[in-house]
Structure 1
C-alpha cells in the first residue's frame, strides 16, 4: 500500500510539472518581447542577385517599421537564412525558422524552393507570403500560402495581349528554357493567349540551363521573320539570347517576363543596342512619380547605394502587408493572421492588390521598355 501511494504521488507530481511546463511555454510565447519573422532567400549561388535584392527590401521595411514603434507594441525580429538557390537548403532553412518560433514567413524568392517550402508551411499552418515566387501552383499548397507578385501564366497572357494591342503583332516566335518551370509556364501561357489574340506562333525553339550558344535556334527563328520574339527566362540567359539574336540578323521586337529585370547590369555598354527596345513585364517602375514609390527608392538608395529592383519592391510590400494584417487581426495567432492577409486591401509600392480565391493577387502589370540602357515606363496592362 505504501508503495502504491508513493507511485501515485510521483505520477501526480509529474502531471503537475507537465502542466506547469505547458503554462510556462504558453506564457513565454504570449509575453515574447519581439515578433519573430522568418525569411528565406538565395544570398549566395547562381541566383543570388535576386535573393539579395529581395531581402534588401525586406530588411529596409523591417527597419522602418521598428523605427516607427513596431507592430502591436513590439519590435519585429527578422531571421534571414541563405538557401543558396537550392531546394534542400530551403527546406532546412524553413525547419530552423520553425524551431526558432517564427509567426510568419517571407519567401522563398525563386519558384522551385518556394514550392517545397510552401508544402511544409501549409502543413504547419504558418502564414507564408512569397514576394516573388511566380509559379502557378505555389499557393495551391494551402489556404495560408500567399504571393504578392503576379503568376507566370498571368504575365504570359498579359504580354501576349500587349504584343497584339500595343505592337500590332501578327506573328511571334518563342525561345523557351526546357529546364525551367518558370520559362515553360510563361511560354505556354503566352503561346495560348497569342493564338487567342489571332497571332500566329511561327516557331518555338528550346534550350537547357547552362547553354551559352543559341545561334542555331535563333537562325531558324530568323528565317521566319516574326514580328515578336518572346524570351521567358532570367537575365543571364536573356542577355545572351538578345545579343546573339541581333548577331544572326533577327530584327523582331523582343518581349519577356519579369525575369528580365536586372538584365542591363549583365550587358556591356557596347552591347546595349542588342537590348534596345526590349519590352518586359514587371511589378513596378522606378519612373513612377508617386510619393510612396519615390520615398521607397530614396530610402533604399540611401541604405544600399543601389537602385531597387522589382524584387526589392515586392519584398518591401510583403513586410508591410504582414504588418497591416497583424494590426487588423490584433494578434500574431497564425489562423487569425492568415484570415487577415486573405481579406487584405493593400496599397503598396507595387500597386494595389486584393487576393483571389487561390490567394493570388489581383493587380496590374507594369510594362518596361529598355531605352539606352535605362528601364523606362511604358504602360500598365491588365488581363
Structure 2
C-alpha cells in the first residue's frame, strides 16, 4: 500500500513540475487558441463592428486576423487577437477598452475611427499600453502621447496632400467643400486642405457643412456649390454621407468632379448603393486592391476567399499593423511573458528606428510623435473598381 501511495505522489509531483515549465504554445493559425499569457502576445482593439461605420471596423479586424493567422502558422512569434465593438462611440469605446484590459491585452490596435480613438488613446497612455491604430487619423489621437502610433495618414497630411494633388493634376479650378463640422476626422482634413489651398492659390468658391443629425439632406450644400460654379467638390468624410451627396447631385442634374479621402474607401461595397453614381470619384489612398505585386495579390485572394468581398484600405492597414508589430517586437527583444508596461517602453524606443514594407507602403517609417511616413496613391473609380491615377 505504501508503495502504491509513493508512486501516486511521485506522479503528482512530476505533473506539477511539468505544468510549471511555461505556457502552452498556441496552435499555428489559431489566433484565439488557449494557453496562458506566456505563450502569445495578446493584441486588443476596438472598432465599429455594428452600426453605420461597421464596414471600417470589420475590415480592419478581418485584415488583422489574416495577418495573425499567417504569422501564427509560421511557428515563431504568436499572437492572439481580440476586437470589441465600440459602435463608433467614444464612451462605448472606453468600456470596450476596459474589457480588453481585463482580458489581459498587452499591445493594442487602438480604435478604428478617430472619435473613439481620441478617448481610448488617452487610456492607453495612462495605462502604458502601446497602441498602433490602423486608421484613426485625427492628430488628437497622438498629441501628448509617446506610446500611440498611426498606420494611416494623419488628417493634416490627407488635407494638404489632397490640395497638392488637385493642383498638380489640374483636376479643378473652382472648388467646393462639404465637411462634417461635428467630426474630428472631417474637420481636421478640412482645416489643412484650406490652408494648403490658400498657399497654392486654389480657388475655394463654396464651403458648407453638416452634422450627425443633418446628414440626410444635402440640397442646400449642393445648390450653393452649383450656383457658384464649382467644378470639383472636395469631400473630407466617410462614404455614407458621400453616397447620398452623389445621389442628390444627380437628381438636381449637377455633375461636378468629386475628390475624397480614405474614409471614402468602402463605398463600392455599401449595401444597395448604385456604384455607377461613384463613377469618376477620385481619392487618395495608400492601398490598391488591383495592384499586381505578389504581396497584394495574395492578400486580396485570401480576403476574398474568407469574406467574399474585395478588401479596402482599412483591411490592408489592419494587416500591416500586425506585421509591423511583429517586426518591432522582434527588434525590441520582447517576449510574451513581459508585462504590457515593459513591452510598451521597449516599443516606444524601437518604433522610430524601424523601416517597414507592407501592403500600404514601402519603406514606411515613424516619427517619435507617432506619425507614419509613406506615399499616398491617387485612385479613381471606373466601372465599379479602383484604378490608379499615377
> Structure 1 CA distance, aligned partners of 2:75 and 2:347?
20
Would you say 1:246 and 2:221 are equivalent positions? no
Aligned residues: 350
Partner of 1:287: 290
338, 347, 361: which one pairs with 1:351? Answer: 361
> Structure 1 CA distance, aligned partners of 2:55 and 2:36?
37
349, 362, 386: which one pairs with 1:375? Answer: 386
1:319-357 deviations in Å (ceiling 9; x for gaps): 000011111111143211232223221110101210124
- The answer on whether the counterparts of 1:222 and 1:249 sit within 8 Å (CA) in structure 2 is no
TM superposition shift of 1:309: 0.8
Unaligned ranges ≥5, structure 2: 1-21, 24-34, 336-342
Q: Rate the CA distance shift 1:171–1:90 in 2: closer, same or farther, 3 A.
A: same
Q: Give the 5 Å matches for 1:97-176.
A: 97-176=100-179
RMSD: 2.1
Would you say 1:68 and 2:74 are equivalent positions? yes
56, 59, 64: which one pairs with 1:53? Answer: 59
> Structure 1 CA distance, aligned partners of 2:276 and 2:302?
32
316, 320, 323: which one pairs with 2:319? Answer: 316
> Structure 2 CA distance, aligned partners of 1:337 and 1:181?
27
Partner of 2:345: 335
TM superposition shift of 1:123: 1.4
Partner of 1:220: 224
> Structure 2 CA distance, aligned partners of 1:346 and 1:174?
35
Q: Rate the CA distance shift 1:32–1:164 in 2: closer, same or farther, 3 A.
A: same
TM superposition shift of 1:169: 2.7
TM superposition shift of 1:378: 1.4
TM superposition shift of 1:134: 0.8
Unaligned ranges ≥5, structure 1: 1-26
TM superposition shift of 1:168: 4.8
> Structure 2 CA distance, aligned partners of 1:213 and 1:328?
51
> Structure 1 CA distance, aligned partners of 2:249 and 2:159?
21
Partner of 2:10: none
Q: Rate the CA distance shift 1:118–1:132 in 2: closer, same or farther, 3 A.
A: same
> Structure 1 CA distance, aligned partners of 2:69 and 2:150?
22
- The answer on whether the counterparts of 2:41 and 2:107 sit within 8 Å (CA) in structure 1 is no
SS at match of 1:341: helix
- The answer on whether the counterparts of 1:225 and 1:252 sit within 8 Å (CA) in structure 2 is no
Would you say 1:77 and 2:80 are equivalent positions? yes
TM superposition shift of 1:283: 2.0
> Structure 1 CA distance, aligned partners of 2:371 and 2:298?
27
> Structure 1 CA distance, aligned partners of 2:277 and 2:310?
22
1:109-155 deviations in Å (ceiling 9; x for gaps): 00011111111111121110000001112111411100000011211
Partner of 1:186: 189
187, 203, 207: which one pairs with 2:206? Answer: 203
Partner of 1:44: 50
With 328-337 and 101-110 compared, the bigger mean Cα shift is at 328-337
Would you say 1:361 and 2:365 are equivalent positions? no
